[in-house]
C-alpha cells in the first residue's frame, strides 16, 4: 500500500520561517514520499519477476532507505514545530531525563544547538535509547547514515540547506535559533512518553 504525504499546514505562518520556504520544503518532502512509493513498487515487481542479484536490484535497495528516512525525518521535523511555541514542561519526565543525562536543560540545549551549527548537511536528532533509558544528541549525516538502531527520535532538526537558505542565506545559526524558538515540546514529550 503506497504512503501518502501528510499535511503540515499547521506550521505555515510560523515566526522566522517564510511561507515560501515552508511550501518549498513541503514539496521536497512530498518528493520523498513519491520516490519511496516508486522504488517500493519497482522492487516488488523485480522480486515477483525473480530479478535478484543484479546491480540494479542492489542499488535500488540501497536507495530505498534514503527515500524512506527522508520521508520519515521530514514528518518528525514538521510535527515537532509549531507557530505557537511551547516551552518544555519542567515537571515532565522528559525534562527530568534531559537533566539526568546532560546535567541540566541548558547543557542539553547548548549541545543540541552546537551540533546544529556544525558544518555539513544532515540532521540533528535527540534520540531516546529505550533499552538503556538514555538520551543522546546525534548527528545524522544525510538521511541514512548515523541513526542509532532501536533508538526513538524525539526531536528532529533539519540542517540541510533547503531548510533555511531561502530565509537565512548561510546564516545557519540564526535558523537554528528560530528552530529552537518554535519547538512543539508537547509533541516531543508525547514521543518520549510513548517510547517509555
Residues 43-56: tens digit of each pLDDT = 999 999 999 999 99
Note whether residue 169 is domain-resident.
Answer: yes
Domain carrying residue 134: 93-195
pLDDT of residue 142: 87
Q: At 133, which CATH number?
A: 3.55.40.20
pLDDT of residue 49: 96
Interior CA angle at 150 toward 175 and 189, to 5°?
A: 50
Residue 144: band (very low, low, confident or very high) from pLDDT cuts 50, 70, 90: confident
Residues 26 and 73 in one domain: yes
- Among the listed ranges 31-35, 83-87, 108-112, which one has the minimum average pLDDT value? 83-87
Residues 109 and 70 in one domain: no
State which of 56, 79, 102 marks the end of a domain: 79
State which of 79, 111, 131 marks the end of a domain: 79
List, in order, residues 6 or more apart from 183 with CB less than 8 Å away. 80, 81, 82, 85, 86, 88, 155
In this predicted model, which residue has the larger pLDDT, 193 or 1? 193
Note whether residue 131 is domain-resident.
Answer: yes
Distance, CA of 69 to CA of 55 (rounded, Å): 22
Amino acid at each position: 500500500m503506497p504512503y501518502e504525504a501528510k499535511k503540515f499546514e499547521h506550521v505555515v505562518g510560523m515566526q522566522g520561517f517564510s511561507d515560501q520556504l515552508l511550501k518549498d520544503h513541503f514539496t521536497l518532502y512530498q518528493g520523498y514520499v513519491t520516490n519511496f512509493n516508486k522504488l517500493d513498487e519497482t522492487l516488488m515487481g523485480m522480486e515477483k519477476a525473480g530479478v535478484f542479484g543484479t546491480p540494479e536490484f542492489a542499488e535500488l535497495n540501497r536507495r530505498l532507505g534514503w527515500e524512506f528516512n527522508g520521508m520519515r525525518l521530514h514528518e518528525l521535523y514538521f510535527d515537532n514545530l509549531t507557530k505557537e511555541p511551547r516551552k518544555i514542561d519542567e515537571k515532565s519526565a522528559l525534562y527530568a531525563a534531559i537533566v539526568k543525562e546532560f546535567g541540566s536543560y541548558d547543557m542539553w540545549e547548548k549541545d543540541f544547538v552546537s551540533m546544529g551549527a556544525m558544518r555539513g548537511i544532515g540532521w540533528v536528532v535527540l534520540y531516546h535509547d529505550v533499552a538503556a533509558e538514555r538520551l543522546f544528541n546525534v548527528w545524522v549525516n544525510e538521511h541514512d547514515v548515523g541513526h542509532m538502531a532501536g533508538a526513538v527520535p524525539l526531536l528532529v532538526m533539519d540542517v540541510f540547506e533547503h531548510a533555511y537558505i531561502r530565509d537565512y542565506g548561510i546564516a545557519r545559526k540564526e535558523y537554528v535559533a528560530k528552530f529552537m524558538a518554535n519547538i512543539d515540546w508537547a509533541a516531543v514529550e508525547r514521543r518520549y512518553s510513548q517510547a517509555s
